[in-house]
Amino acid sequence: MQEVSSVRSTKKVDKRFNPKLALPIGKEQIQREKLHPQYVVGFIDGEGSFSISIGKHKTLRRGYEVRPEFEIELRKDDQEILERIVVTIGTGRIYDCSYDRYGWYPHAKYKITSIWKLKELLFPFLDKYRLQAKKAKMYERFRIIVLMLCNKEHLSDAGFAKIVRLRDEMRAMGKKAKTYATVSNSETLLETARVRENRLPRGVETFDK
């Protein structure tokens, strides 16, 4: 009788990435022409998102982590625009997003999460080519918070309280206007808004080419 080994594979599986989705790409993998800066700024005015989330973190002294994020999310068939924005700004990565369980079209998301990349590349771009819509006020507060993080001002009680206040002001300007006086007991204070108009028609499995 053949003996069956009960030894399990020692190969580690990286659970951070969905194998069905493409790996993130940055400017090193993109060969596109730059866009006009004013076009990019107008696009950010309409589609960009500045968000600050505050979530629990067991290893930090305060017990909370402040996570800034700039992003633009579009349907997957518009990814070329995001790639050209990456090249124009000079930083960030593009991620595949799957909304199969909602029956929506695939999306692509451009993100910058590094406080240093935000400070050194995105902020000089947006300070030179100014936002014009309501998002300019969101950016102003977002910029202050990121610079406070770079200067480690969030480590003081006064600095952290100021960040929470600025984050609340940003939320009050958003589509889901809610004000949080203090950090709540939830795992994270970042809410994600889904785009309903990207739902697939019933019975359709692929997006138009």
Residuewise pLDDT in 10s, the chain (209 residues): 454 444 454 555 555 556 667 788 888 888 999 999 999 999 999 999 999 998 888 777 777 889 999 999 998 899 999 999 999 999 999 998 877 666 678 889 999 999 999 999 999 999 999 998 889 999 999 999 999 999 999 989 999 999 999 999 999 987 655 444 444 434 344 433 333 323 333 333 333 33
d(CA 82, CA 7) in angstroms, rounded, equals 46
Could you tell me if 108 and 77 are in contact, meaning their C-beta atoms sit under 8 angstroms apart?
A: no
DSSP-based helix, strand, coil % in the chain, nearest 5: 40, 15, 45
What is the reported pTM?
0.74
Q: What is the DSSP letter of 104?
A: B
Give 129: exposed, middle or buried? Use CB within 10 Å, 0-12, 13-18, 19+.
Answer: middle
All structural domains of the chain: 2-7+23-175 (3.10.28.10)
Strand, coil or helix: what is 53?
strand
